[in-house]
Structure 1
């Protein structure tokens, strides 16, 4: 099978695309994959590292207010469609799969105009602008949250599939997660991640929380700051840590995140769709601090979905302090029954077969053509 993957800007769009690609490659060895992205997005670095062919187009997103930049964006969209058609005619894919982000707009649109089968995957409860636009042109839509399906009523083939990142994380080696952190197997630890780029508000709350951590001496704390915040955050935490305390670990980035997640007792972080798919597949209780700086405030909707199910606690960023965060942590870590209940609720939301479900949808769409 020949598959074009597209989607980018952030890891939340890139990693689901890569997970779908890996599922195709496993189900059909010898398949050819091509990823089309932009040089400005993280995909230009992440995709080649995975050994997948990469081509780029130039495109920018729309502003939600009146702006001359939108005129330039329309011009870039037309140019992006033209460039995409050239790449698609050369590669001759059986299907084009888009996972959101403005880059997939011209690529998927070009494929539909060329008569190539198309599928988009929506990670969030509230669909992004690009996927809403594309839904009237594509052959199929896969959604991560059941609530999203009704919002794609213009597409004839909508499947509640979950997020394909859930499938990949279940294959992670839990023992290697503990080993990579230098922790004995089964050590309880709290993992805090501010997303692929880090989150200053979360890092600030962590710094203020450090003096309180002695109240939970049996737990370890793993803080992933993001590379741009690492030096200042690590220095601040070191100053606040009492001498001889070794249960706090600070990292700029974790390259083996699936393995670490597989070993995690409690997750704290943003409410990006890929992380939520992974923690629910693994059945990890969580404290979610949705980013307020995302389109349609979709992370709050994502977090509320888990909170309403009893799988997570939610703290809005405007309410986030070191004391509030520590209170939520100590509540969960200090009550085994609550932790177990949240873990069960989390696992109940998980869709570990998401990648396989999307693969089956891909096959069905191709055969219809």
Structure 2
């Protein structure tokens, strides 16, 4: 068996921050253990920006396709991009010779998984949502195991490949301090803090709704609005309302000072809110712009009593304000239910599985 200091692990996943979050959470453990760590993503996707911030990780960009839920000439080009990506990934893998590939999904992961299979490299896949996305459905036949967040997900995966791990929480999110978060936003203690997160790319529908009612909301809340790249609105000047495109290093402090959250329903994010006991109003991506996975995630959380759910296609001014009021008025009961949820030891289970799967 090789010494751990010479072992090598390759990560892939991208297209959104959700396809990077789990990778980012476990990479530091492998670096501390002396593994050589590399990451394959798209040339200019959000994963390239997020991984670039991490020390000790070599990043490689490749060509990749994209899932579009509308007609486009670009769809005709995507198979050729995927083929090019497989060729590029194959050459990178021949050079790196990783002991294991860990894939978080997203379309960039498909050529990497195929290249790893062609090189007889063990493959582990992680699926955060209740049902696997298209990229993971393509990749699963080539993998040794599929790590799932929801127990129910195992029923959708053929064979005995599914391994229930549970949610992965970034350790640094538990280290936040509310006082630092309040100072960063120039807020005062005592008045509730409302955090709006529309995902890594933002959510224009949510942004518009929040901004339309920002003055009224500011009577009750201090508002932190993470609105997405290029979606700042410089025309709004309301005391107690602050905007960011994205928050990186200070997210733990911002979450620590937050009392309730308006969010999409990506699995990684909502499980982090659950672990930190942050009551939620979830507005999942609609079926018109997604495969409906966020709606399923949100329904599971609503059934457990962790949130209120408002479907985007049904959202209007009145039911938005009413749903937010419901979460705020019931925040005490919601937090008690969250505290009773089992967090488990998903991080260590996942790391152990990767160790066991890697080439010996």
TM-score, normalization by structure 1? 0.87
Residue of structure 1 in register with 2:303 after alignment: 308
Quick one: distance in 1 between partners of 2:323 and 2:70?
38
* Partners of 1:350 and 1:167 in 2: CA distance: 16
For residues 77 and 321 of structure 2, the distance between their equivalents in structure 1, rounded to whole angstroms, comes to 47
Contact 1:311/1:345 (<8 A) preserved: yes
Task: Please name the residue that 1:321 is paired with.
Answer: 316
Residues 149, 164 of structure 2: 8 Å contact kept: yes
**What's 1:132 paired with?**
137
1:197 and 1:167 map into 2 onto residues whose CA distance is: 23
Shift of 1:186: 6.3
Indicate the residue corresponding to 1:114 in structure 2.
119
After superposition, the CA RMSD in angstroms is: 2.4
Deviations 1:50-78 (A, max 9, x none): 13211011110355689875554333323
Distance 1:273 1:323 in 2: 27
CA distance in 1 between counterparts of 2:317 and 2:209 reads: 4
Q: Which residue of 2 aligns with 1:295?
A: 290
Of 176-185 and 265-274, more deviation after overlay is shown by 176-185
Q: Which sections of structure 1, spanning at least 5 residues, go unmatched?
A: none
Query: In structure 2, what is the equivalent of residue 8 of structure 1?
Result: 14
* Aligned counterparts of 2:340 and 2:246: Cα–Cα separation in 1: 29
In the TM superposition, residue 174 of structure 1 has moved relative to its aligned partner by: 4.0
CA distance in 2, matches of 1:46, 1:148: 28
CA positional deviation for 1:169: 2.1
Structural mapping, 1:335-346, within 5 Å: 335=329, 338-346=330-338
Residue 332, structure 1, aligned to residue 327, structure 2: yes
Residue matched to 1:37:
41
**Distance change (3 Å), C-alpha of 1:166 and 1:301:** farther
1:165 is displaced (CA, Å) by 3.6
Q: Is the 8 A contact 1:162 1:277 kept in 2?
A: no
Aligned equivalent of 1:163, options 153, 162, 167: 167
Deviations, residues 167-186 of structure 1 (Å, cap 9, x unaligned)? 44224344432332223456
Query: Which residue of the other structure, out of 243, 249, 268, is the alignment partner of 1:250?
Result: 243
- The whole-number CA distance in structure 1 between the counterparts of 2:23 and 2:273 is 18
Asked if 1:95 is matched to 2:88, the reply is: no
Work out whether residues 69 and 290 of structure 2, in 8 Å CA contact, stay in contact via their aligned partners in 1: no
User: Which of 222, 225, 233 is equivalent to 1:223?
Assistant: 225
Cα offset, 1:34, TM superposition: 0.5
Q: CA deviation at 1:131?
A: 0.6
Please name the residue that 1:268 is paired with.
262
Classify 1:284/1:66 alpha carbon distance in 2 versus 1 (closer, same or farther; 3 Å): closer
| 1:66–1:205 distance in 2 versus 1, CA, 3 Å | closer
- Segments of 5+ residues of structure 2 without an aligned counterpart are 1-6
Contact 2:64 2:107 in 1 (8 A): yes
Higher helix share: 1
Distance in 1 of aligned mates of 2:290 and 2:109: 16
TM-score by length of 2: 0.89
Residue 84 of structure 2 aligns with which residue? Answer: 79
Query: Per the alignment, in what secondary structure is the counterpart of residue 268 of structure 1?
Result: strand
